[in-house]
Structure 1
């Protein structure tokens, strides 16, 4: 029971931090403010997280879990591989807009978070595996043609990431305007269309 209570408290802290980070931005949020939101002491937060950096990473991991739940559900309900790939784009778009204040680039640059690279690598691999599964289903139904779904999926995801980062990679900033979000969405739709047409030939 004690372990369950600790797990529940840790989850509550992450949820409170996610809510505040999403609204105000991670860098503008203090541990005191999160503690106040939870009506507990700051020491209670430090019992579960050694510092704000660790909490920030836990929040990003939580957001990632939410993203994969949404994207897997979207892929599972799509009628075709083409629909599945195209339906993933608005999920990505809405997720990026909703959580843009989580300051992903700040974490990627932060040398104190030595395991952050591994976390993001695993997330990229998970998304690539999901796309590979969609392509395999498309091949099995005769909708798509390829003898290397894994390689195509890796190329597709890396290309999508490149478009996603292209507007902010110059200064590694999370500040992206609504117009830029929409431009990236349009680029991703065009890129998906090119990939799908190539796999149908």
Structure 2
């Protein structure tokens, strides 16, 4: 009996220890990403080295390589974290019970625009990161588009179920909407227009989309 109890508690201790180690690794990785974002914003990816990032988090360069294999690996992780934050914000819009489907679609586009504008405003070198991801890591772009289209699909299905929207093919409707609002997540567009102008453009675009979706 004592042997069985000892085995049980040993397993519990092992699981607890593993959880603590995993949590510690995640915390260290977050510190690394925070430092990398600051470096990328001020100096760009090209002028940032692994040694720079390691120094900012008070670790050796060799130790940094235990967590990320190279600088681009860190850049990808930064991008995924940023996109994850944006997806969470857009998901909150979709889950907002105080809005109908039309209101959700409009707020979805506006939140997408605001988030992109804030990111570009705080990180004028973001195009460098966007280009690297687009050229070398298409799977990240694919995941982003898939997540966005799923959220849009949920809005459209809700609208059709409530008798607000009318369309024949949910897949085609989702892609059409996603394509129509793509400009409001392009960093270049954020540098050409002021936020108020972009918001007006987003509202106009969304109204045109809704006119096409509304049940007659």
**Whole-angstrom CA distance in 2 between matches of 1:36 and 1:109:** 26
Secondary structure of the 2:191 match is coil
Given candidates 105, 112, 116, the residue that maps to 1:85 is 105
Aligned to 1:57: 76
Question: Post-superposition shift, 1:20?
Answer: 4.5
Q: Secondary structure at the match of 1:59?
A: helix
* 1:151 counterpart = 2:172: yes
**How far has the Cα of 1:131 moved from its partner?**
0.4
TM-score, with structure 2 as normaliser: 0.75
| Gap runs ≥5 in structure 2 | 1-17
- The answer to whether 1:199 aligns with 2:213 is yes
Which position in structure 2 is the counterpart of 1:99?
Answer: 119
| Alpha-carbon distance in structure 2 between the residues aligned to 1:164 and 1:59 | 17
Q: How does 1:10-159 map to 2 (within 5 A)?
A: 10-22=29-41, 24=42, 26-27=44-45, 29-77=48-96, 78-100=98-120, 101=123, 103=125, 105-110=127-132, 114=136, 116-159=137-180
Instruction: Render the CA deviation track for 1:157-186: whole Å, top value 9, x for unaligned.
Output: 112114544x838xxxxx815x35544333
Q: Provide the C-alpha distance between the structure 1 equivalents of 2:23 and 2:155, rounded to a whole number of angstroms.
A: 37
Q: Distance in 2 between matches of 1:39 and 1:126?
A: 36
Deviation at 1:48, TM superposition (A): 1.3
| Offset, 1:66 | 0.2
Aligned residues: 192
Distance 1:57 1:74, change over 3 A: same
- Please say which structure displays the higher CA radius of gyration: 2
Secondary structure of the 1:50 match is: coil
1:176 to 173, 183, 191: 191
Contact preservation (8 Å) 2:36, 2:53: yes
Greater shift, 134-143 or 70-79, is seen at: 70-79
- Equivalent residue in structure 2 for 1:187, among 194, 201, 204: 201
Unaligned runs of 5+ in 1: 170-174
